[in-house]
Structure 1
């Protein structure tokens, strides 16, 4: 949908009172709503910065990994927001399949929409690539950078595009791509038969991950 197709609601108090939106995309087979990996982060941000709103991305989050409807949801939400409230900022969150969704959506945003994105937080990114400035470990510091996400090799073999942050966004300090050591999705050990160890399901429970993510998002907003 093009921006021109939207009905602008500039000046409407319903939108002016929302200086920021927190868009989060859940992981595979999580129920519709805020991902359990991001719930503590988002609740803390809303408490510390009143006036914002949490908006879970609507998409199937099925095992087929089809993120198209969720990508459109993110793009349309930000484009509509540029029309309704041009000063509004957006913090984007993606866990597992949701990280894939956010990476794909970001690659489709036009420059004006990209400027409205104040931060990007990814947990357990299955397309994680080494050498990115945004790659961080469980304490929000550069680390775990030699790992390659679970889906990267198959994408290369199938000659598919690997969803990833643009160089400009990666170098902007807006994005943090968290990967816990032992996470079988963002840091798989192919010598191990278990590809989904507990670490992939632990981001919502690790205080250092939650605290540094909150600090990063609030600094951007």
Structure 2
């Protein structure tokens, strides 16, 4: 099984590099900032090497769609501060800890604020871990190091996952957050579909932005 994960990791690296190069995108370090006391806080964990204000491939189009759909309510964003790298052994754990810290501090500072958690690829692993679903053992996964406190859980209105690696291992979000989760896996995506054969499917999730925004609107 480790050879499968290794092959998938190499494929992810190559495909991401090719796609971003083809789009003329320069990968930059993330810049994260705390959100104000808006009605809805959207925390996004980007995919491996995904550039952009939140995430060029998925985060930016999804956030834009959510923000537009939820008008006139106020919506703010937070980019989870973590390496989103394949060469950093504790990348997912860093994101897991940062996401939980952000939501916890926001919840304390903004008692009326509700939360949308979103993640793409490696970022989906970050979100999985943060809601208590371990990504350990899957590509760019790792053990849980922190979870959203139970007292805050009711304020997590919706969870959006794209190209979620735990699905390739037959896992999914169950329990407390199951009904609040939309988990997208494009047909043939080898990162979330066991033996998937279409690597480019992994870069198609921006096309789900409107559907994701509609799902969020039904939950907040």
TM-score scaled by length of structure 1: 0.69
**CA displacement at 1:220 relative to structure 2:** 1.6
- Cα distance in 2 for partners of 1:97, 1:85 equals 28
The residue number in structure 1 matching 2:201 is 199
Q: How does 1:132-143 map to 2 (within 5 A)?
A: none
Q: What residue ranges of structure 1 are gaps of 5+ in the alignment?
A: 1-13, 129-148, 154-161
- SS at the partner of 1:67? helix
Runs of 4+ in 1 over 4 A off after TM superposition: none
**What is the match of residue 3 of structure 1?**
none
1:165 Cα shift? Answer: 2.5
Q: Is the 8 A contact 1:26 1:33 kept in 2?
A: no
Structure-1 residue corresponding to 2:113: 88
* CA distance 1:31–1:38, change in 2 (3 Å): closer
Structure 2 gaps, min length 5: 1-34, 133-146
Query: Aligned to 2:159, which of 113, 120, 124?
Result: 120
Other structure's SS at 1:81 match: helix
What is the total number of aligned residue pairs between the two structures? 167
Of stretches 41-50 and 77-86 in structure 1, the one that deviates more from structure 2 is 41-50
Distance (whole Å) between structure 1 residues aligned to residue 54 and residue 36 of structure 2: 21
Does structure 2 retain, via aligned residues, the 8 Å contact 1:24–1:93? yes
Bigger helix share: 2
**Larger-gyration structure (1/2):** 1
2:193 pairs, out of 181, 187, 191, with: 187
Superposed CA deviations along residues 37-63 of structure 1, whole A, max 9, x for unmatched, are 131121122123242111111100001
